[in-house]
């Protein structure tokens, strides 16, 4: 246990998992947000994973659980979307370090070392989805994990990645009910509705292609606005450790209204708009904020505002350099 872990454990004993977790993430957030103001030179085409066949390998702890996950995965995705699972399965290490529960970590996947830690047994499918959508680029010292890209100094897309990972976990293993990251899951259901084909988003996740995901979302907003929304989602996630945290609720409300306005700007069908509203209103607090918001801004006004670029510019713009395929 390092010194940080000792501090978080003491905080946990004093104030519970949420307090310890929130202080931990807010401290980390300060450093991370400083990085995020720098130009995002790292966004580029993700490496294409080569499809291989699942090897026959000797037994290791957790092998059977991973193979039963693989059977579910291979029934739900196209063969090319199995590439990351097959590669990572060859030399994965599965640990069961229960101590991490003390500071709120029930499971984790370390893409750099290809280590999957299962502190609580039911987290295996969520972590196995991470394993199935991640690749460590040794040359660049860079990690691609579903919708997240990160190295030792900066990262983007954590909230999208966690939300979508738990969305898949809930759909395939938990009767549709997420057990964690509930707001991020709802955000990702909204983003999914912005794609004409939900399978397309699924493929982008398994091929860890954040870049193309951003390109697709540029149908609704500028590159800068899409990046800013992704960063706002990351920021909101880091403030969401405490239940009913006003900073996080406000950030999430802004994110959902932005997505709603993106949808309205494309003249959606009544059915599509209804689905979108229903997802926002799955949570009572956001349902209330949404009702208040709708009284102030009609559909026509929102569309006009988008045209005049007033709604999306409500966020402070950060200078971002778009670098394609470099
Ligand atoms: Zn996760």
| 56 within some domain | no
Query: Cα of 319 to ligand 1 centre, how many Å?
Result: 29
| 251 within some domain | yes
Q: Are 231 and 156 in contact (CB under 8 A)?
A: yes
Share of the chain above pLDDT 90, in %: 43
| 108 within some domain | no
Query: Cα of 301 to ligand 1 centre, how many Å?
Result: 38
Query: Cα of 181 to ligand 1 centre, how many Å?
Result: 9
41: pLDDT strictly greater than 60: no
| 89 within some domain | no
- pLDDT value for 43: 59
319 is written with which tokens? 């200078």
Longest dimension (CA), the chain: 63
Query: Cα of 305 to ligand 1 centre, how many Å?
Result: 36
pLDDT tens string 232-280:
999 888 877 666 677 788 889 999 999 999 999 999 999 999 999 999 9
φ and ψ of 156, to 5 deg = -145, 145
| 214 within some domain | yes
| 181 within some domain | yes
What total of structural domains would you count in the chain? Answer: 1
Q: Starting at the earlier edge strand, list the strands of the sheet with 155-156.
A: 134-137, 142-145, 148-150, 155-156
| 85 within some domain | no
d(CA 30, CA 97): 28
Question: Got the DSSP string for 261-281?
Answer: HHHHTT---HHHHHHHHHHHT
Least confident of 25-29, 57-61, 141-145, 229-233: 25-29
What is the SS3 assignment for 92? coil
Give this prediction's pTM. Answer: 0.78
130: pLDDT strictly greater than 90: yes
323: pLDDT strictly greater than 70: no
Domain that holds residue 257: 141-314
pLDDT tens string 70-124:
999 999 999 989 999 999 998 899 988 777 766 667 888 999 999 999 888 889 9
Q: Residues with beta carbon < 5 A to ion ligand 1?
A: 162
34: pLDDT strictly greater than 70: no
Mean of the per-residue pLDDT values of the chain? 78
Over residues 120-145, the mean pLDDT reads: 90
Q: Which of 100, 121, 109 is nearest to 145 (CA)?
A: 109
Q: How many helices (H) and strands (E) does the chain have?
A: 14, 7
| 298 within some domain | yes
């Amino acid at each position: 246990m390092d010194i940080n872990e000792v501090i978080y454990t003491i905080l946990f004993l004093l104030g519970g998992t949420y307090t310890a977790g929130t202080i931990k993430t807010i401290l980390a957030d300060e450093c991370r947000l400083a990085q995020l103001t720098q130009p995002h030179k790292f966004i580029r085409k993700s490496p294409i994973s080569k499809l291989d066949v699942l090897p026959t390998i000797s037994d290791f702890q957790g092998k059977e659980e991973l193979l039963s996950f693989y059977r579910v995965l291979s029934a739900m995705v196209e063969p090319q979307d199995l590439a990351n699972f097959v590669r990572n399965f060859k030399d994965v290490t599965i640990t069961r370090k229960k101590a991490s529960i003390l500071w709120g970590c029930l499971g984790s996947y370390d893409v750099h070392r290809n280590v999957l830690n299962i502190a609580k047994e039911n987290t295996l499918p969520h972590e196995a989805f991470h394993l199935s959508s991640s690749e460590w680029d040794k040359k660049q010292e860079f990690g691609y994990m579903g919708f997240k890209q990160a190295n030792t100094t900066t990262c983007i897309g954590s909230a999208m990645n966690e939300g979508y990972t738990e969305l898949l976990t809930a759909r395939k293993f938990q009767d549709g009910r997420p057990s964690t990251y509930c707001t991020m899951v709802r955000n990702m259901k909204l983003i999914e509705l912005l794609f004409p084909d939900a399978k397309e988003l699924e493929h982008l996740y398994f091929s860890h292609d954040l870049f193309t995901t951003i390109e697709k979302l540029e149908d609704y907003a500028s590159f800068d606005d899409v990046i800013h929304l992704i960063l706002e989602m990351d920021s909101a996630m880091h403030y969401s450790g405490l239940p009913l945290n006003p900073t996080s609720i406000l950030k999430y409300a802004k994110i959902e209204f932005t997505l709603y306005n993106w949808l309205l700007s494309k003249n959606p069908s009544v059915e599509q708009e209804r689905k979108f509203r229903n997802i926002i209103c799955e949570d009572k607090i956001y349902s209330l904020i949404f009702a208040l918001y709708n009284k102030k801004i009609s559909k026509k006004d929102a569309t006009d505002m988008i045209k005049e670029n007033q709604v999306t510019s409500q966020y402070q713009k950060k200078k971002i350099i778009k670098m394609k395929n470099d």
